[in-house]
Chain A
């Protein structure tokens, strides 16, 4: 079992992919999550059966778990970057923003807490490829977001 992260993870909302919808379609009806009376009313208004709604809800749960896993993976990568900057840098939280498709990191620094916003494309490239180049891009953007542009250019000299 993996250690629980030392930072907070916030992934608001439920958004599923085509794969997750397909995965939910393969689950037996008896294993689908229950729905509340309110959800039943919403399903009726949409012209959906309760089962169709429950499958949609399950797909959303799968999507939510995927994004939470991604948040933890990003946070651990950022913790490694911060570990090389000194003990006074600490990751406090990772938050997903589905409207802007960005991740917001709250990082404790000697100057107080700072927000660093990273585009999901950059984060996906780093986490999926795991190559030195993509991880360096992520590291550089964290440094830049923290106002440590000096570190980016120091490494190049």
Chain B
């Protein structure tokens, strides 16, 4: 599942809490909007703690779980496939 473009709550591991010390208050959970993801981890926008022009990297090895809202959606209407007489 791709996380870019959604808000996710991460359960931080001790090393994650240590890495983010001074940026966010020490807490087991961190909620942020994922603006990008790559081999290093997820890049988060944190509206409560950082200006809109900044994003912070949360490394893959620094969290144990990620929780997000998931609402199954019916696919949108599509044009029928086939030939018309």
Contact = CB atoms under 8 A, between A and B. Distances in A.
Interface of A: 119, 121-122, 125, 129-133, 135-138, 140-141, 144, 147, 149, 152-153, 156
Given A149-B33, A152-B33, A122 B5 contact: yes
A127 to B, nearest CB: 10
Contact of B5 (A130, A132, A138): A138
A138 B82 CA distance: 29
Contact of A122 (B4, B74, B76, B78): B4
Contacts of B83: none
A130 B79 CA distance: 12
Leading 4 A-B pairs by shortest Cβ distance: A137-B5, A132-B73, A130-B76, A131-B73
Interface residues of B, number: 19
B75 A129 contact: yes
B45 A149 contact: yes
A149 B5 CA distance: 11
Nearest to A145: B35
A75 B7 CA distance: 24
